[in-house]
């Protein structure tokens, strides 16, 4: 990997493209799971309140 980065003249382009893709996909997956957990909690709270009330 270090050899590749040091010796390939296009290495920076390839690493930038994969880095940007990894960052966007990581944000997409994280935001998806976080929003899902929040929605699940909200729905459970609302259902609990309804059962109690």
Structure tokens at 17: 């493209």
Q: How far is the CB of 35 from another protein (least distance, A)?
A: 5
Q: Is 14 in the site for another protein (CB under 8 A)?
A: yes
Burial class (CB in 10 A: 0-12, 13-18, 19+), 15: middle
In whole angstroms, give the CA distance from residue 37 to residue 51. Answer: 21
Q: Is 30 in the site for another protein (CB under 8 A)?
A: no
Sites of contact with another protein (CB under 8 A): 4, 8-11, 13-14, 16-18, 20-21, 24-25, 27-29, 31-33, 35-36, 39-40, 42-43, 45-47, 49-50, 53
């Amino acid at each position: 990997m270090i050899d590749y980065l040091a010796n390939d003249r296009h290495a920076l382009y390839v690493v930038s493209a994969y880095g940007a893709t990894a960052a966007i996909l990581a944000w997409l997956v994280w935001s998806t799971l976080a929003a899902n957990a929040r929605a699940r909690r909200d729905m459970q709270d609302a259902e609990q309140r309804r059962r109690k009330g």
